[in-house]
Structure 1
């Protein structure tokens, strides 16, 4: 076996495939490159006989036993009782000794979901004769679970917000070297680097508590404001109508619905399908569950609420619901622009399609954001999106010294030169 592995890796050659162009073959001089499929497969084969015996305190999903989960060499043991979990640890200890696997006890943690029983203390759980430390939160496969919070994913929101904020700030730090970040490239960077953190695990971490979602939304808003060149008081709807990016709350629920559609396509013996059946049973008896949370979210949408019937499911009906949520997001943005004086220039505008036809699109990356000179591009954005220094905007909030005051009625925000009409974008550019 070892001779075969040595021959295999000595003979490995690599190519890079990019934009349908294949590089020449090369040899890795620094070990096995990321993406080598043999390494995890060999570990899976080695660890494949890890089969703890059935226990009275095991967790069952339908008819499927779920007493352990493995992600490569990261293993989770679960049980309904302290004694059951210790029996799992004893089996793991014996198995690792037979297979010459060294368990890192200092990195191993115990977490109790809910109140800690009075019988449990620091010496209750041991591995290789050493007590295991307790924790109230743990991250597994990128998702942070926490006990002691009303929402077990509260810390997950906080950690993902911190990661997304750090990456967003790093992306804009490139402006020190390349100048203003163009919106097209900035949008691509957002989709590839920031959005994965803002939507991480949103398929299962549903936004029933909007206070937890607010920090993630703020990061999205701040990023798009900087990308377009708007100030923090700019209307939120402009951030999405001008870039074509969906508001985060809508995007997260769309991904959750796509996950539901995926679950409905699975065979009955798949673990996710078994969990879905358990979820349905909880929902039918009125208990808190993933489906119940998912049914709440569409009803909170502020405009043109999609119809969500949790009693009738099919892949086609979920696909229709996804389309309805996208339409609701577009209608929400359109409605905000239509009902605000800041969006007067944008109501009903047409956007060129792929074949040159002009149609109304609520969300799209607008052509004026492709202007190459940053000063010109930001000036156009300021004029179109009511972020300029003309009286129509300036007298909306503050006086000339920046002090707070009641908003001056729009019809009184007169031109500083002619004094006869409202000093807005059209008046300043074409009339006065």
Structure 2
């Protein structure tokens, strides 16, 4: 087929506005799902590969990394414009009508959350994040080792100890603990710099 001087080629797949369309699959978006899940998994693996340089990735920071770098691949869309060229609200999306395609995306999400929380690759999916938290909290309240118990131990072991009790764990107490850690860090730095003032004249008084 020729339009003007351009010859239209018959292809199996074509990418338009960031979306891959396929003419040989049952679902025209199958290739797009596969591509996006592959990219998301690659980014997730790269994120955890940084462990050698930055140490373990805390859950809060891990979720922020997930939302910034991985979720955009799993919830892909693009801006739409009305007939006048002005940006319209919303985006064009693919409806998840093929279970296998959707499974590719959810698998990446579940793998990331399990790895972030240090759970087994076959751990139950229902209430994935909340279950891990509640189990760790129960262990801490029983005086047993666990994620929250480790946090308490590490905070008590800081040069300037910070007290943290799992018995009264709320959003407010977590915020207060974060503030206490920042204060303890500042105090530790001030003491360290004070003892080396003669060797650090350029930063004295900062």
Superposition TM-score, scaled by structure 1 size: 0.28
**Aligned-partner Cα distance in 2 for 1:137–1:243:** 42
How far does the alpha carbon of each residue in 1:172-217 deviate from its partner, in whole angstroms, 9 at most, with x for none?
A: 0110101111111110000010000011139521111111111111
Who is 2:118 aligned against?
Answer: 229
How far does the alpha carbon of each residue in 1:34-83 deviate from its partner, in whole angstroms, 9 at most, with x for none?
A: xxxxxxxxxxxxxxxxxxxxxxxxxxxxxxxxxxxxxxxxxxxxxxxx5x
Who is 1:183 aligned against?
Answer: 59
Q: Aligned match of 1:153 in 13, 29, 32?
A: 29
* CA-based RMSD: 3.3
Q: Aligned match of 2:101 in 212, 218, 225?
A: 212
Who is 2:12 aligned against?
Answer: 136
Please list every run of 5 or more consecutive structure 2 residues that lacks an aligned counterpart in the other structure: 78-90, 139-146, 155-206
**Aligned-partner Cα distance in 2 for 1:134–1:187:** 43
Counterparts in 2 of 1:243 and 1:189: CA distance versus 1, 3 Å? farther
Check if 1:371 corresponds to 2:151.
yes
**Aligned-partner Cα distance in 1 for 2:129–2:99:** 19
Who is 1:194 aligned against?
Answer: 70
* Offset of residue 369 of structure 1: 10
* Offset of residue 233 of structure 1: 2.3
Counterparts in 2 of 1:369 and 1:212: CA distance versus 1, 3 Å? farther
User: Secondary structure at the residue paired with 1:200?
Assistant: coil
Counterparts in 2 of 1:242 and 1:134: CA distance versus 1, 3 Å? same
Q: How does 1:103-114 map to 2 (within 5 A)?
A: none
Alignment coverage as a number of residue pairs = 132
**Aligned-partner Cα distance in 1 for 2:64–2:131:** 14
How far does the alpha carbon of each residue in 1:121-169 deviate from its partner, in whole angstroms, 9 at most, with x for none?
A: xxxxxx2xxx553211111121111112111101110000110010000
**Aligned-partner Cα distance in 2 for 1:191–1:242:** 21
**Aligned-partner Cα distance in 2 for 1:219–1:234:** 14
User: Secondary structure at the residue paired with 2:126?
Assistant: helix
**Aligned-partner Cα distance in 1 for 2:98–2:128:** 23
* Offset of residue 370 of structure 1: 10
More helix by share: 2
How far does the alpha carbon of each residue in 1:255-301 deviate from its partner, in whole angstroms, 9 at most, with x for none?
A: xxxxxxxxxxxxxxxxxxxxxxxxxxxxxxxxxxxxxxxxxxxxxxx
How far does the alpha carbon of each residue in 1:200-244 deviate from its partner, in whole angstroms, 9 at most, with x for none?
A: 139521111111111111111110011011111211124243699
- Report if aligned partners of 1:145, 1:155 keep a CA contact under 8 Å in 2: yes
Counterparts in 2 of 1:242 and 1:225: CA distance versus 1, 3 Å? same
- Report if aligned partners of 2:76, 2:93 keep a CA contact under 8 Å in 1: no
